Structure 1
Amino acid sequence: MKKISSLKPFIVFATLSWFSFSAQSQTLTTLKEMVEQVISANPEVQVKYHEYTGAGYERDVVKGGYLPKADIVSSYRRQEDMDGGFSRRNGTAIPRSNNELVLRQMIFDGFATPNEVSRLGHAQRVRYYELQSAMQNTTLEFVRSYIDTLRYRQLTEYAKTNYVIHKQYHDKIKERVDAGVARRVDLEQASGRLALAEANLLTETTNLYEVTARVQRLLGELPPETLEMPAFVAGEIAPSPTEALQVAYLSNPDLLSTIEDIQATQKEVKTKEARYLPRFDLQARKNLGTSSDGENSTSAADLLELTMNFNLFNGFSDKAAVSQTLEKLNRSNDLRDKACIDTRQIVTIAYNDIRQLKEQITYRDQHRASIENAREAYQKQFDIGQRTLLDLLDTENEYFQAKRSYANTEYDLMNAYARLFAGQGQLVNRIGSARQGLPEVKREDYVDAATVCQAVAAVPVTIDKAAILADAKPLNVTNRQLIKPTERTTALAPAAAGACSPEVVTAQVNNWATAWRQKDYDAYIKTYSEKFNPEPPLTRTAWEQQRKQRLSSPGKINLALSNVQVTCEGDKAKATFHQEYSVTNYKLLKQKNSQGCDVCNAKRIATKGFADNVNKTLELEHSSGEWKILRELVNP
């Protein structure tokens, strides 16, 4: 029992320490909590906070000029020792050491002290607004990083899906090329687009890493896996850019700091002018020393005096100091005007971006929806042979770009809201965050002076689409009239020997298809001319070996030709048609019966292998009494 009792303090301490650590290491989950962490612990904000608190102590230093000063003044003399350690002059003893208590009180210093206290009060307010500016700017930078993290997480998912789709289509096209039913150039195009999809995926992941590092720099830790969408973007804004600018002129911390700097410099001018006036001080002295023989000397008497110091000439230094401070005042006014201009630019551009992006996002959404519908239509057309795999790749790439554009517009709109609220000095409040322990500064009348800044915003650019269309020149389009062909009234002459006949060419195409369908390699090869060369990079020999291998592989070939059209040009002919090709493989499924026979109830199950639908053209030449294939092309 004693051992258990001795462990109780340790258990209690460990438990409290664990709870304390858990509270400190609690993960930030909301944007409000993260912003409070940023404005309370970020080093850039902390620098401004310490400058603000230091300015308060600097003012307290000057306030000490109102109070009396007490000093003990000690002196020691070494002189010739005459007559027992005293030098007698008219019977007065001069001691070797002396101690005095001196009290001084400033009575009048030309109002230098009150003006300096007032100047430092305004200087402290300058530091306060600089702190507010640092909080707004750091919050804006963090919010933009936060929004970009949301952005690139979503774009990375889009890039992943885009890569998978391109890879799947690439593999399908490669199968068709390897089967000899597609052109090699199609595979090259698919390979190039696959490489682009891989590059896009790498770009998005790199961007995501960069914005994550930005969040970590500002927040001090990595962002959580789940981030909420910012709610401040749903807040109301002023109905016009001029009204938005008026709000900014009343609360933008950069502008307010320059106004306070003007007030501080005006007080500094008065402080410098105090040197033109006399200074009065009340001084009291109490001599604490005695002579060496123990008798009080005449220098030990108490003293109370009023002193005046009035400078008559100081080498024009005081005048130069006043002139220097007046130039500082001009500089402060110029900085105030610059702050007005900068604030106007930031607020009006952000306000216009919000207006434009709100309209733009509607068109982006419409574009995305239209491309998605076209993508689905292309897929259906591909199923019936009216589109190729490259057509599907085109629509997939356009759909990917449409989704990216819509997402970027959404997040750009969020950033525009953040820039507007930061320009108005309200971003931290809009998010609902606050720095604990920071006092509220009383708003003075001179801050709201109507002459500080003129709230005049640029007129937004609007496009009158109806007027543009009305002024546009009509398109110069020539409509081609379709002429109905006239019927032949004269009988055709009998075809000469070897002349092109659509019926004969069609029969030869059917023979070619039958040999392919029946896997008759010899009959299949005989349908090709000796001049036939496959699409590069295959040679004739390699192509024949490839065809022989595939025709000898297991599985049933299903081949159907439709819409065969033949055109004749002397001893040359072209046959175009739609080809549906597939391979059916069979698998034997064994099942034991009651007598234990595992093949008695066996079933042959058909499984589909490679399949495709293409439009094809065969170019033929009449040679040695037969029509032979010169070229075999897959139409796009």
Structure 2
Amino acid sequence: MTTAWCRLASVLLWAAMAAPPHAAAQALQQAVEQAVHTNPEVLAAGSRRLAADEGLKQARAGYLPRVDVNAATGRVRLDSHSTRAMGLADSSYASHLAGVTITQMLFDGFGVSSDVERQGARIEGAAYRVGATAEDIALRTVGVYVEVLRRQETVAIGMANLEAHQHIYDQIRLGADNGVLRRADLYQAESRLALAQANLRAEQGALQEAVTAFLRVVGAPPQGLSRPESLAAVLPATEREAMLVAGASHPALGAGQADIAEAEAARSLARSAMWPRLELEVGAARDRDRVLGTTDERSVMLRVRYNLFRGNADKARINEAGYQIQEAEQNLERLRRQVQESVSLAYNAYSTAQDRLASLEQYVQASDATRVSYGRQFRIGQRSLLDLLNAENEYFSARTAYVTGQYTQLASQYRILAGMGLLLATLQVAPPGEALMQAGIRSRPR
């Protein structure tokens, strides 16, 4: 078993272990599946893959014989010794010609085989890009899915905050109407009530924006969303392990490697022009005219063509292909760094969110305890109205921050899996059919 197969086997084994039966909520799985199979970006990538399939068929056609049929009809004006002897000097007559030629390429400097290999690598790259696009759309689906859930919860928090401020305002207005509290307290409570209303409206607007983003990515409005389960148990233990898996499984890197193979095959195709071309040609033709009568011609020819000079165009084309190989190699290195950066950022975001979550939970508990205590103390005159209102705002901010922290931690888990190229596998969502490669499309391994 080769090293490449060993790496692939280890990646598949890791993916199987990382995909428990309930890796994510069913609603999220359905949203991702719908997005992956209906999003225009994925469909466009799939069309590019299908176009590459047709390119391979065109390249393979070079192995087959070429059949050409020709026909001509018209008038011929002929003046020769033979026609003059026949009394047809300077005469014009009708001529009808029909023929067929079959040409079979025998040797072309490995041009057809190089083109077949180039198109095979193109198919492989297109298939990998379908997979990479599907992984990207899956991650974006997770992002908009989680954002809708987060905004739904922050809207609920905003509504609870508004109700709390409304309750305080009603109490202050009752006290002001009875002359127990000052009108200034009523104005202060009214201003904070207006702020709570504005905060709620802002959260509602953000929710509508999240719904719009969901519709754009998934292609359908969100319905019946539920919080996805945590994937912490299936994440790699270390950032280095995540990077190793990403290096072996991310489809973007596979596309980059296929681009190098395509460029190398293109250079072999360019070099084929430096070789002679050998063809077997079989032809048959019939010519009918009034002078010579009917003439039948049959031929079997072995033709050799060898270009000696074309203005150094062939050499320049070979050099061009060499630079394109270098470009593809550098693009692969760029992709490798991008994948490493993506995994590193996702892992750092996950670690940071995980560390912050405990503090944010404590922040909520402490602000809630402060709010309750201030409410009791305000009723017996030990706290001012400003203290009570500040405590309510602090509680609103704490709950919002905690919910945001929870969803940030959850989203970062999916980011890590997407950075490794294993998000669809973990969610148990089948990739588009165009992401699967045919067997034997490459004439020789890299």
Q: Secondary structure at the match of 1:149?
A: helix
Q: Secondary structure at the match of 1:325?
A: helix
Amino acid at match of 1:393: L
Matched, 1:35 2:22: no
Cα deviation digits, residues 133-179 of structure 1 (max 9, x gap): 11111111111111000000000000011011112212322333344
Distance 1:431-1:232 versus aligned 2 partners, 3 A rule? farther
Aligned residue in 2 for 1:154:
153
Residue correspondences, number: 413
Tell me which of 415, 426, 429 is aligned to 2:425: 429
Q: Secondary structure at the match of 1:227?
A: coil
Aligned residue in 2 for 1:263:
261
Structure 2 distance, partners of 1:173, 1:398, is 20
Distance 1:243-1:232 versus aligned 2 partners, 3 A rule? same
Identity of aligned residues (%): 27
Cα deviation digits, residues 505-538 of structure 1 (max 9, x gap): xxxxxxxxxxxxxxxxxxxxxxxxxxxxxxxxxx
Distance 1:301-1:331 versus aligned 2 partners, 3 A rule? same
Amino acid at match of 1:313: F
User: TM-score scaled to structure 1, two decimals?
Assistant: 0.61
Amino acid at match of 2:222: P
Distance 1:438-1:49 versus aligned 2 partners, 3 A rule? closer
Structure 2 distance, partners of 1:200, 1:442, is 55
Tell me which of 284, 291, 299 is aligned to 2:282: 284
Amino acid at match of 1:43: P
Matched, 1:340 2:336: yes
Structure 2 distance, partners of 1:443, 1:376, is 68
Tell me which of 36, 42, 46 is aligned to 2:43: 46
Q: Is the 8 A contact 1:81 1:87 kept in 2?
A: no
Structure 2 distance, partners of 1:219, 1:301, is 66
Cα deviation digits, residues 420-473 of structure 1 (max 9, x gap): 1111111112112114644633799x9xx9xx9xxxxxxxxxxxxxxxxxxxxx
Q: Is the 8 A contact 2:104 2:280 kept in 1?
A: yes
Tell me how far 1:219 sits from its aligned partner.
2.1
Tell me how far 1:373 sits from its aligned partner.
2.1
Aligned residue in 1 for 2:374:
378
Q: Is the 8 A contact 1:232 1:431 kept in 2?
A: no
Q: Secondary structure at the match of 2:381?
A: coil
Q: Secondary structure at the match of 1:211?
A: helix
Structure 2 distance, partners of 1:319, 1:77, is 44
Aligned residue in 2 for 1:233:
231
Aligned residue in 2 for 1:116:
115
Q: Is the 8 A contact 1:231 1:431 kept in 2?
A: no
Aligned residue in 2 for 1:126:
125
Superposition CA RMSD, Å: 2.8
User: TM-score scaled to structure 2, two decimals?
Assistant: 0.86
Unmatched 5+ stretches in structure 1: 1-27, 453-636
Structure 2 distance, partners of 1:338, 1:74, is 56
Q: Secondary structure at the match of 2:228?
A: coil
Moved more, 349-358 or 58-67: 349-358
Tell me how far 1:64 sits from its aligned partner.
0.3
Aligned residue in 2 for 1:192:
191
Tell me how far 1:384 sits from its aligned partner.
3.5
Aligned residue in 2 for 1:419:
415
Tell me how far 1:337 sits from its aligned partner.
1.1
Amino acid at match of 2:313: S
Aligned residue in 2 for 1:75:
72
Aligned residue in 2 for 1:141:
140
Distance 1:101-1:187 versus aligned 2 partners, 3 A rule? same
Cα deviation digits, residues 34-92 of structure 1 (max 9, x gap): 21111111112111111111110111011100000111122345322679x96879xxx
Q: Is the 8 A contact 1:101 1:288 kept in 2?
A: no
Distance 1:267-1:376 versus aligned 2 partners, 3 A rule? same
Tell me how far 1:346 sits from its aligned partner.
0.7
Aligned residue in 1 for 2:56:
59
Amino acid at match of 2:207: L
Matches within 5 A, 1:536-615: none
Matched, 1:394 2:390: yes
